[in-house]
Amino acid sequence: MIRGACTAGASWLTPLADILAVEAEKAPKGKPAKSLILLWLGGAASQLDTFDPHPTTKIGGGVKGIDTAIKGVQFAAGLEQTASVMGDATLIRSMVSKEGDHERAFYYLKTGHRTDPTLIHPSVGAVICHELPEARLEIPTHVSILPNQWPARGGYFGAQFDAFQMLDPIGSIPDVKARVSDERMQKRMESLGVVEKAFATGRLPNFDPQKTLHQLSIERARKMMTSEQLKAFDVSQATAAQRNAYGDTPFGRGCLAAVRLIQTGVRCVEVTLNGWDTHANNLEGQASQVRILDAALASLIRDLKRYHLLESTVVVCGGEFGRTPKINKLGGRDHWPTGFSMLVAGGGFAKGRVVGATDPEGVKKDPQSPVLVEDLHATILDLFGIDFSKELITPVGRPMALSKGEVVEELLARRSV
């Protein structure tokens, strides 16, 4: 059911990245997306202080509006760069969630399912990595940069689909360098081989070596430790001008790394910007985060377009819910799961479009043209050519659909409005 080629300066790229860039450039419109970048605004950005300002109204909170590339549509002041690239993106101003608690809302937005005590659902990135053929990579296909306490997980698909976690890309990549000399490392591997042989020859009763991912995990880890593709994580190899364009903050460097990873062939990258939970001093708190977000988000969209990867890469930017129209006694805004904003771009999403609207007086709770969380997930999976209604059998024998949502056609480039 349905509801209404890389630049010359990127010399670090592997041959695989060159192939992917050429394929993406030649790909006809409408071809399934290949990659996902999720920019997670942890703590819940205020829609009224970012993508849906209502200046001069009672609920505006003193935020000034600025024009965007979409005629008649304004963003909050501070998002000037993002406003300029809105011709390549679509804005949802009517997201509706059923959860107003941070942890439960995180889970809901990342998986498309509400929490269930009987199982853990996979995040959208894990679903995409599970359902699409594995990329020819020596590094993880699912990456989380600057994760908070609720990173993307593989859920019932297994830990092998958990996102590989790392902090600020300007630092070293965790756990990819041996802590001993090559000679000693080789002796350790030989000793491990003796133990593995004992397992395989049945010295332990009822042991089946084919039912463990132990050896495969070791093999992948060893290959990653020596891979040239690790350079994609290292933003220190980018020029100062490139880093400055993204703001040269941890989040900005994370977004720069995300583009580099997508160029290399990584399937899904999540970059987190925490600090949006402004129950007090909302105006100042949101403004400080907006300054970090603006340069990074705009540069990410520009670079994906420049490298001919935007058409094959889905970009989603938002948090777990929005913030109340009413300003509390501490000058803050509280949790608001009804009528918040998400920005989407690339991969088959429409360009220069706005879906939904909220009440400028903050009286009407329900937004126009509401978009449910599960419907956004179904739409994203559909863009990848994944049957979102497909049922899989969980490890405990329970049938579970990838998504219970419906495609929101208004969000898609194939729908003309």
Secondary structure (DSSP) of 53-81: --TTSTTSTTPPEEE-SSTT-EEETT-HH
Asked if residue 359 has pLDDT above 80, the reply is yes
Residue 279 has a pLDDT of 98
What are the E-state strand segments in 207-320?
268-273, 313-318
Sign of the C-alpha dihedral computed for residues 198, 200, 201 and 206 taken in this order: positive
Reduced to 3 states (helix: H, G, I; strand: E, B; else coil), residue 223 is: helix
* Domain annotation for the chain: domains and CATH numbers: 15-173+234-411 (3.40.720.10), 181-228 (no CATH)
Tell whether the model's pLDDT for residue 12 goes beyond 50: no
**Which is more confident, 176 or 82?**
82
Residue 200, both tokens: 């395989």
Q: What pLDDT is stored for residue 31 in this prediction?
A: 81
Q: Picking from 3-7, 17-21, 111-115, 295-299, which range would have the lowest pLDDT averaged per residue?
A: 3-7
pTM: 0.85
The CA-atom distances, in angstroms, between 51 and each of 1, 68, 341, 349 are 29, 10, 6, 17
Q: What is the pLDDT of residue 38?
A: 98
Q: What is the mean pLDDT of the chain?
A: 87
**Where are the strands (E) in 119-173, listed by range?**
142-145, 164-166
Residues 11, 12, 13, CA angle at the centre, nearest 5°? 90
Q: Please state, in angstroms and as integers, the Cα–Cα distance from residue 97 to each residue in 115, 119, 327, 385, following that order.
A: 13, 21, 21, 25
pLDDT at 5 over 90: no
Q: With 60 as the cut, is the pLDDT of residue 22 above it?
A: no
Read off the pLDDT of residues 251-278 as tens digits, 9 standing for 90 and up: 999 999 999 999 999 999 999 999 999 9
Q: Which two tokens stand for residue 185?
A: 């490392």
Integer angstrom CA distances of residue 352 from 71, 231, 286, 415: 9, 34, 25, 13
